Amino acid sequence: MPKLTFINPDGSRTEVEAALGQSVLEAAHRGHVELEGACEGSLACSTCHVVVAKEWYDRLPQASEDEEDMLDLAFGLTATSRLGCQIIMTEDLDGLVVTLPAATRNMMIGKR
């Protein structure tokens, strides 16, 4: 199983195993990482926003227009921001590192 490292807002690291075909969001929930995912991965919010480590960003498939539209709503958007629900784990992504933003913006309840 590919491994995935989350860098938490406090700087600590959480490493989880991700099944092939599983999204970063699903792996986070399975590994008890606090990544919200209010829309449960249906690409209807930006609460699963992660910042992909620069050395990994170009290995990901390009974001869809729908994902880019949702990213525009994300708190703390960066050049390597993606939605965790849209990153699907493959063998090539074994070792992927993503950082969790300090806050999320859920349009239903505001900033958390």
- Which pLDDT does position 56 carry in this prediction? 98
pTM: 0.90
**Ordered alpha helix ranges (H), the chain:** 24-30, 54-57, 65-71
Q: Which fold has domain 3-111?
A: Ubiquitin-like (UB roll) (3.10.20)
Averaged pLDDT in 10-residue chunks for the chain of 112 residues: 96 97 97 93 94 98 96 93 98 97 61 43
- Cβ burial, residue 62 (10 Å; 0-12/13-18/19+): exposed
Contact 37, 112 (CB under 8 A): no
pLDDT of residue 112: 43
Q: Return the pLDDT at 104.
A: 64
Q: Please, are residues 82 and 67 in contact by the beta-carbon 8 Å criterion?
A: yes
Domain assignments of the chain as residue spans, ordered by start: 3-111
